[in-house]
Structure 1
């Protein structure tokens, strides 16, 4: 069992929580700069760990909220950084409306590899309470998130997130700057929610995207014909694969199909 000690606190690293602690000051500084936080902003940090990013955020924002699930780490943050409003909870169960009672929040954090997608969709569903997200995640996931059409990384995650948010891949972070060292590299991504006409039908649009990509090697026609009336789509559109459509094209396709009863 791997253990990590910082000052007076030692914890057994929980692989299921994806615990890898960032140690490089230059990387920490770049993340904070990328988040464009200002004094008085309402910041929410996901998984502060031993406070590497926490201390850098405090240099800009004298008080903010951090959400930590691990009991020992939560106790450490309370003692070491008393000005931080520590919420001891799973980020997937947090009420973002409550976190944003005083105003929309800027989310930051080194998010666990094991639950990256659930966190991203939790944030997507709560985007009305969020100004921006500056997140470090597994490099492969970051590439998928910011992928362009026609690439192997482009898929459900890219289309669902990029439809409702502006997504930018910022920079790569090597595995050597973590304790314990993970098996893969990381990257920092910036996500900014945006208004779209699809806000009112998000659930059905996301289902449409999942079905369009359900078998990547098949055409749009083969993936959709059992679920939608696709008579308004052209023959050329129906013979293309989902990975070839841009975000704008997906929006146009969705406006011209109807679920089968």
Structure 2
């Protein structure tokens, strides 16, 4: 078999019903190319390999799991990218969908990597620590609304699909999990540039208890800072508010 490695944040899915439910939600998206992130012991992989007419790849960093997966599922022989997801190049030349029980210790970084490829990734179905999933899906005014919420929702609609009990894993994590689906926004968000927008959002939430006037004073002229919106704090602004403000910035560094 294989061993569990805490250093890699490994908690392997064992609940067949959850595996089938994830695949059911995944197949509501239309795709030809599919990338599984962190297949681990292959609980989800065995269902994904049954999908018809799909060009499938999996990315797995753990040497031992790669050997196990190839031995258990011979169809994976030339379909495993043996690297960390954070280090790989774009795995398909065409558009592709991403699915996985994401390693919790790098799950937010996984999302930011996907954002770099957002034009080529029309669907993501992923399992996260519940509080991370809730944060990604949060709307303005919610106490967990933050950088991840805004940056992901700038490019994707986020659906919180369902909770997953800690008992669905081996070993059981100390937290509950949640599955979310990302699909492209119906209307593209109009931002000055990716660099300006990302800098604005990160600067605003870096001092989230301060008003925007104080948190972001280095990014705007004193005249612009007099506008009423700067009386608000970052968590009170919608995605569209941030987008509009990006055009008023003097500095995108």
CA contact (8 A) 1:139 1:187 kept: yes
CA deviation digits over 1:111-146, x for unaligned, max 9? 111111111100111112212110001000001100
Aligned 1:136-175 pairs, distance under 5 A: 136-175=127-166
Matching of residue 249 in structure 1 with residue 241 in structure 2: yes
Matching of residue 207 in structure 1 with residue 195 in structure 2: no
Distance 1:14 1:236 in 2: 51
- Aligned to 1:196, which of 189, 194, 198? 189
Change (3 A) 1:112 1:230: farther
Distance 1:38 1:240 in 2: 38
Unaligned stretches of 5+ in structure 1? Answer: 1-8
Name the TM-score, length of structure 2 as normaliser.
0.92
Change (3 A) 1:230 1:79: farther
Aligned 1:23-62 pairs, distance under 5 A: 23-36=14-27, 41-61=32-52
Residue 88 of structure 1 and its aligned partner are, at CA, apart by 0.8
Q: Residue 94 of structure 1 corresponds to which residue in structure 2? A: 88
CA contact (8 A) 1:229 1:259 kept: no
Change (3 A) 1:70 1:202: same
Q: Residue 121 of structure 2 corresponds to which residue in structure 1? A: 130
Aligned 1:221-260 pairs, distance under 5 A: 221-229=213-221, 231-232=223-224, 235-259=227-251
Distance 2:19 2:207 in 1: 39
CA deviation digits over 1:46-88, x for unaligned, max 9? 0111111001111214651011110010111112222231111
Change (3 A) 1:106 1:33: same
Aligned 1:60-99 pairs, distance under 5 A: 60-61=51-52, 64-84=56-76, 85-96=79-90, 99=91
Distance 2:50 2:123 in 1: 19
Residue 201 of structure 1 and its aligned partner are, at CA, apart by 1.5
Residue 214 of structure 1 and its aligned partner are, at CA, apart by 1.3
Residue 260 of structure 1 and its aligned partner are, at CA, apart by 8.5
Unaligned stretches of 5+ in structure 2? Answer: none
Name the TM-score, length of structure 1 as normaliser.
0.89
Distance 1:221 1:66 in 2: 46
CA deviation digits over 1:191-230, x for unaligned, max 9? 12444333x7112211110111111110000001123225
Residue 234 of structure 1 and its aligned partner are, at CA, apart by 5.0
Greater shift, 127-136 or 32-41, is seen at 32-41
Residue 32 of structure 1 and its aligned partner are, at CA, apart by 0.6
Change (3 A) 1:45 1:232: same
